[in-house]
A and B are shown apart, each in its own frame.
Chain A
Amino acid sequence: KAGVTQTPRYLIKTRGQQVTLSCSPISGHRSVSWYQQTPGQGLQFLFEYFSETQRNKGNFPGRFSGRQFSNSRSEMNVSTLELGDSALYLCASSLDRGWNSPLHFGNGTRLTVT
């Protein structure tokens, strides 16, 4: 069974630009979550989608947005990029939103903002 796939693996953008990251969950998984990973902050929760609806949202500015499609694939978008947005963005899928559904992570997209 294929794991969580994130594309692209690496991105370099300049300040003010916008970026779209993509995530394909494990087949059959309906919940997709996004995290920002930085050396100083660890994993910070961005948002969670289930059945094409945002179910939870972390404490990030409105420049960060996402969506989920009917096939459970998800995208996240960051507009007006800032230097501080440089990070590894992780997507994780789970079977559902149940308490006993662990997260399965992708390899991440490393975003560098110059």
Chain B
Amino acid sequence: AQSVSQHNHHVILSEAASLELGCNYSYGGTVNLFWYVQYPGQHLQLLLKYFSGDPLVKGIKGFEAEFIKSKFSFNLRKPSVQWSDTAEYFCAVKGNYGQNFVFGPGTRLSVLP
């Protein structure tokens, strides 16, 4: 069965600090990987996705993620966070054959102004 783990439950950073949120998945076949963000009071939105090709993918708002197949990881990064990045971040995986999305437990990011 697929599963997704996220390293941190709650991360607190100051503005301009660099961000890295860990995500590891467990799945035996080809996977497609996603990061979603949920800003306070808003719906979940897609930040970025990886299907194949260049393992470094860029998303919206300056976010990027790197797929490392050997480590079953898909970590999210941003060089310099802003107060507006305060949100909950979810990593998700989906297989290639009609499986449903599986989400990690989420990481809450608080950016202090």
Contacts and interface: CB of A to CB of B under 8 A. Distances in A.
B66 to A, nearest CB: 19
Interface of B: 30, 32, 34, 36, 42-46, 49, 51, 90, 92, 94-106
Given A3-B43, A105-B43, A45 B95 contact: no
Contacts of A41: 105
A113 B66 CA distance: 41
B100 A33 contact: yes
Interface of A: 3-4, 33, 35, 41-43, 45, 48, 55-56, 58, 90, 92, 97, 99-100, 102-108
- Among A42, A43, A48, A104, the most chain B Cβ lie within 10 Å of the Cβ of A43
B51 to A, nearest CB: 5
A100 to B, nearest CB: 5
B105 A99 contact: no
B45 to A, nearest CB: 8
